Structure 1
């Protein structure tokens, strides 16, 4: 096993200099730091985690709060978590995954025990109960999501308001005047989950701007719930020719039910989805969609966290611009 002394000898510096580079306790010139880091990489040195934590008062762990709820699409959350974990390792951090629905209690446990050096929070609500504790803790934290008040916070997310607007603009540009939105499960809106509420804001604002009639209906997903929701939509708005779907589990049931009713996609009805590319590409009709940049959100969250841990961070909101990819599920509105 390579020792710290061997790294110091290889780099031509003192052992204390190597220690300072590892702990960040003292300012080291960029040239010396690069030389030490090069020696660490070439020799394959791995500092003892316990000793390093004691020396630096750090755990070298980032806590990721990812509540696993039955009304959320877990594959997207998992993709974000994997991106967080792999990016954190490139910076020398491990990730502590918290999957319970504990809310403020989990924040207290992490900040009060020294379990982690920083936190990344997912499933952010507009008035999230965790945020007052987070603001008062003084511990670096990044939100993957956007609350109503971002003061004193660092956030990264897809611009869901722009996403909703983009979907309506696309369908309206094809001549669709009656658009129905198949939304997330009702509980997602009851919690005022940020991404769902902001998408709805964007959909409604753009519909008003373009003079399009918009109908929003939450849906649990699955064939039974989708059948009931679809029947209600056509009962209330028989002229509906455009659909926006923000519910991955409702995508295939919707396409199947439209086929059963003899409504061809896209000749009779157009469908736009807000979903991962994998869902859009594997659907029975390749879907026009706005992709969820899960990996990029996870990566940026870690980069912002590490920047804060190094004392170079500042409160900011990073919104990723949505991109709509046109595929086989949208076309001109029927005459």
Structure 2
């Protein structure tokens, strides 16, 4: 078993410096800290959790609050959770996973106990009831998501407003003037979930600038729900030629239904999705998409937590820049006939 002294020799520092990097009790220069962390990873050093907790009055546990609801795409949430767990482990922390829809009570339970040293909150709503308690807590917290008021908070998220803008610009640049947005389930908007609300905001704002008409319709996902939503869209806006999909469960049903109606993709209709890469590339028509950087979001959230525990970070809003990958599902708008 690798010892702390061996890590110190490998990094060329004293044993106490390694201890300070692990505990965060003292501020260590960034180059020295990074050298120590590299040695820890290369040697495979695993500090004794019990000894560290006794010495530092810490549990070395991060609480991850992931309310698992039936109206969200669980694989994305789990990909973020796995990235949080693996990154935390690399920094010597374990993760306590809280999946219930407890709201403020979950924050209160962590803040008032020694269960965890810090909290990461997911499924963030614009006016999230958990946030007043998080602001009052002495335990560091990071949001994977962006609420309406970010005062006193640290947040990591994809820039969903910019994502919506990017999708509109792509379709408008191809000549599409009538767009429909296939959104998440209605309950997601009723809760004012941040990522969904901000995407629609970005779409509508850029569409107004470009003189493009937009119709937004929530959808439960699945073939039957998508069939009803699509029929309603073409009934209300028969000239629709561009679709933006922010609902992973609706992507393949939409493609199938469009083909069944005799609408060729992308000759007659173009489709752009906001979804995980694998959903876009494994669809029956490879879909132009903005990927959800789930692993990056999870990793950055943990790094922000570790920096806070070590006294190295102030509150910060980190929005990841969206990237659109063009594939077979989008092309020039059909000529007006």
Sort the Cα spacing of 1:29 and 1:72 in 2 relative to 1 into closer, same or farther, 3 A.
closer
Superimposed CA distance per residue, residues 19-61 of structure 1 (whole angstroms, 9 cap, x where no aligned partner): 5564343567899989987987788664432232121011111
Q: How far apart, CA to CA, are the structure 1 residues paired with 2:146 and 2:108? A: 21
Matched, 1:191 2:191: yes
Superimposed CA distance per residue, residues 47-91 of structure 1 (whole angstroms, 9 cap, x where no aligned partner): 432232121011111111111111000111111111111111111
Equivalent in the alignment of 1:170: 170
Equivalent in the alignment of 1:93: 93
Matched, 1:64 2:61: no
Q: How far apart, CA to CA, are the structure 2 residues paired with 1:134 and 1:171? A: 40
Sort the Cα spacing of 1:171 and 1:108 in 2 relative to 1 into closer, same or farther, 3 A.
same
Equivalent in the alignment of 1:127: 127
Superimposed CA distance per residue, residues 272-302 of structure 1 (whole angstroms, 9 cap, x where no aligned partner): 0000110000000000001111111111111
Q: How far apart, CA to CA, are the structure 2 residues paired with 1:13 and 1:326? A: 49
Superimposed CA distance per residue, residues 211-249 of structure 1 (whole angstroms, 9 cap, x where no aligned partner): 001000000000110000000000000000000000000
Per the alignment, in what secondary structure is the counterpart of residue 151 of structure 1? coil
- TM-score, normalised on structure 1? 0.92
Sort the Cα spacing of 1:93 and 1:125 in 2 relative to 1 into closer, same or farther, 3 A.
same
Aligned residue runs from structure 1 range 202-213, under 5 A: 202-213=202-213
Sort the Cα spacing of 1:269 and 1:48 in 2 relative to 1 into closer, same or farther, 3 A.
same
Q: CA deviation at 1:2?
A: 6.7
Q: How far apart, CA to CA, are the structure 1 residues paired with 2:190 and 2:326? A: 32
Equivalent in the alignment of 1:200: 200
Equivalent in the alignment of 1:268: 268
Which structure's CA Rg is the greater one?
1
Per the alignment, in what secondary structure is the counterpart of residue 112 of structure 2? helix
Aligned residue runs from structure 1 range 1-335, under 5 A: 22-26=22-26, 46-335=46-335
Q: How far apart, CA to CA, are the structure 2 residues paired with 1:278 and 1:321? A: 19
Q: How far apart, CA to CA, are the structure 2 residues paired with 1:109 and 1:301? A: 21
Q: How far apart, CA to CA, are the structure 1 residues paired with 2:85 and 2:224? A: 37
Sort the Cα spacing of 1:264 and 1:51 in 2 relative to 1 into closer, same or farther, 3 A.
same
Does 2-11 or 77-86 show the bigger shift? 2-11
Q: CA deviation at 1:98?
A: 0.6
CA RMSD of aligned residues (A): 2.6
Sort the Cα spacing of 1:278 and 1:34 in 2 relative to 1 into closer, same or farther, 3 A.
closer
Superimposed CA distance per residue, residues 99-144 of structure 1 (whole angstroms, 9 cap, x where no aligned partner): 1110111101111111111111100000000000000012111100
- TM-score, normalised on structure 2? 0.91
Where in structure 2 are there 5+ consecutive unaligned residues?
none
Sort the Cα spacing of 1:99 and 1:57 in 2 relative to 1 into closer, same or farther, 3 A.
same
Q: How far apart, CA to CA, are the structure 2 residues paired with 1:11 and 1:328? A: 50
Sort the Cα spacing of 1:228 and 1:6 in 2 relative to 1 into closer, same or farther, 3 A.
closer
Size of the aligned set, in residue pairs, is 335
Where in structure 1 are there 5+ consecutive unaligned residues?
none
